[in-house]
Structure 1
Amino acid sequence: MSPRKSVAETRRTRERIIDRSVAIASVEGLEGLTIGRLATDLGMSKAGVLGHFGTKESLQLAALEGASETFSRTVWEPAADAAPGLARLRALCELWITYLERERGAFPGGCIFTTAAVEFDARGGPVRDAVARLYAFWRRRLIHDLRLAVQAGDLAADTDPEQVAFELIGLYTGLNQAIQLMGDREAPGRTRRALDRLLAPAR
């Protein structure tokens, strides 16, 4: 096997492990990831799985990073071409609903970040810090577009971007719960109506 082929094969194997880890973690949490489970699911040896990550914590962090890339590809990137401010916010919010409602290939158990936040919010350590960083990054992006929308006059001048970002994140956390826990088919529509109020254009 040529060195180039060997590197490509190693990368594909690592990607397979991460993809399966994300799927498991969305259902069972990051603590549900075990080397033995992954080895069985992927038809690999435990040593083969362990060789790519070394520790369970490294595997958990890699799963979070892989899930973040999927979220960005599904939500942030498709909205990037919309006009900055309210138009981009509305596009992003609609894509976020679609992500929670339909992204079952990568996340069969729903939003992995909601699961991880509940699982690690009372703990210390690198995994908890990584989850917190992701939420903080997304919050800053929301605040940025909210500020642009206020500056452009698309939202009322007295709109508090930090408060609205807080409410948006709470809204999507609630949507995930309604879909996953309650099986509420009306939840996406209710979320859209809430967004219409929360992001109502300035009169």
Structure 2
Amino acid sequence: GKSYVRAAPVMKKTSWTEEQQLHRQRISKASGLWRALRSEQVSKIWNSAAQEMNGYAWFMKANMPALEMDGTLIDAKLLKVSAGKLQVPQQLKVERLPDDALTITVIWQNDPHTRGERLNDELMVVSFVDGKFSPVTATGLVRGAKSGSFELPTKPVNATHIYLFMASSNRNDYSESICFEV
């Protein structure tokens, strides 16, 4: 046969296709959301929910659909700040009081089969505006109460969205988050 001489491919910054660059940008923005939200508690939530992967990878997989190809946020309601096996409260309704911008009133129904320890699950909140998240904050409202009011976290100021989810009393189990525009 014949002998051929071939040069090894050279990596250049311009060798990425436009689609590859967009995908890298999207992953970078999703990773930025993780960094903005990350805390010891959030890491614990996602690590306990993840199966066959770590919490960071599960967060990325769950939240990639919320981002355009270039990494811009499609809709804050598509973001998930919590994941888990606990049941989400049914018919959860949220209202911000017009005369008090920091107070949120919530009401929900419980599944008729919810009993025992599950009635002590506590409602948690994370507020969001312009890529900034508040820390995970306990509202003091338990599942058995079916309603109540709580104060929004003070930062970030002028939150546009809140994410609500349930946490078990021992903080080992969580529900998926639900987003509300406030």
Please, what TM-score do these two structures have when normalized by structure 2? 0.28
Which has the larger helix fraction? 1
Structure with max Cα Rg:
2
Which has the larger strand fraction? 2
Please, what TM-score do these two structures have when normalized by structure 1? 0.26
